[in-house]
Amino acid sequence: MVLSQGCLRHAPCFRPGSVERIEASLADGVPAPGPRAKAVGVARHQRAFTLVEMLAVLAVIGILGAAASPSFVRMMRDSRVATAASRVAEVYRVARARALGRGGAVMVRWQGMAALPTPGNPGGHFEVREAIMGAGSCGLTPVPSCLGTDWSVGSANSRYVTSFDERAPQFAPAMAQFMDLAGNSVDFAQICYTPRGRTYINFGAAQPFVPLRGVARVNVVNAQSLLSRPVLLPPTGVAHVVNAVGP
């Protein structure tokens, strides 16, 4: 059987090579297999997974997941502690930048015994306050002095700016410790930045501010592994996090 080229042009059901297969099958007396027959033949030769094989794969996945789970949990905890340390350093850096930019003294207070922040009391471990005139129409005007400002809560000469507490759930299990210049842990410390780039410190609300002539430190500790991420507070005011230190 021979099909003309004109017939092929007007027969969209024919595909390239179909004519040759039809002619060969007619010559041999055997019908040519169609696309559906070929698909059925291929499907018969495909082999699916058995129930035993699937159970074995699931068991292996479960074993690998159980082995990796403790490491993953530790990694997530360390990541949260590292984020908390970065936030602590950011609090001090932003306070210094605010003092330089607004022309007023800015103080960061550490209170180790402070209660957890609440909507009515947004303080916490780290509280930032700004010196202002506090009287008359110029009451919110920044004041450049750290030494002559009343920094107590409720004072008309300073106002609350922001706060941070590493004990928030998103930073668990972070735990901060403020270390004085001798490396001792203290429950109270205030660092004040002036618009002229000077840095002052004291370790008691009744103590006067003195120039910071060393490097104070905040240790942000992983309460689970006791791995510490120190935040250095130098006189330059450029707070930064250093490499983690083991227990």
Same domain, 39 and 85: no
Same domain, 173 and 236: yes
Same domain, 27 and 104: no
- Does the pLDDT at position 15 exceed 70? no
Same domain, 40 and 107: no
Which has the minimum average pLDDT: 70-79, 100-109, 173-182? Answer: 70-79
* Contact between 195 and 201 (Cβ < 8 Å): no
Side-chain-side CA neighbours of 24 within 13 Å: the count stands at 7
Same domain, 116 and 198: yes
**What are 26-50's pLDDT values in tens digits?**
455 555 555 555 554 545 556 677 8
Q: Which domain holds residue 20?
A: 5-45
| Other C-beta atoms lying within 10 Å of the C-beta of residue 209 | 22
Residue 57 lies in a domain: no
Residue 53 lies in a domain: no
Side-chain-side CA neighbours of 58 within 13 Å: the count stands at 7
pLDDT band at 174, cuts 50/70/90? very high
DSSP state, residue 200: E
Q: Which residues of 139-170 are buried (b: 16+ CB within 10 A; e: fewer)?
A: eeebbbebeebebeeeeebbeeeebbbbbeee
We report the CATH number of the domain holding residue 136 as 3.55.40
* Position with higher pLDDT, 138 vs 129: 129
**What are 135-157's pLDDT values in tens digits?**
776 778 999 999 999 999 889 99
**Mean residue pLDDT across the chain:** 84
Same domain, 28 and 104: no
Residue 77: closest CA among 190, 231, 220: 220
Q: CA 116, 140, 158: angle at the middle one, nearest 5?
A: 40
Same domain, 17 and 86: no
Residue 12 lies in a domain: yes
pLDDT of residue 232: 98
Residue 69 lies in a domain: no
Side-chain-side CA neighbours of 25 within 13 Å: the count stands at 11
* Position with higher pLDDT, 47 vs 195: 195
Residue 195 lies in a domain: yes
- Does the pLDDT at position 92 exceed 90? yes
Which has the minimum average pLDDT: 13-17, 115-119, 184-188? Answer: 13-17
Same domain, 148 and 204: yes
Angstrom distances, CA of residue 110 to CA of 32, 125, 165, 180: 88, 5, 10, 12
Query: How many domains, in total, are found in the chain?
Result: 2
Same domain, 227 and 118: yes
* Distance (Å, whole) CA 17 – CA 19: 6
Residue 75 lies in a domain: no
Same domain, 100 and 165: yes
Same domain, 30 and 95: no
pLDDT of residue 9: 47
pLDDT of residue 8: 44
Residue 103 lies in a domain: yes
Same domain, 25 and 92: no
Residue 73 lies in a domain: no
- Does the pLDDT at position 222 exceed 70? yes
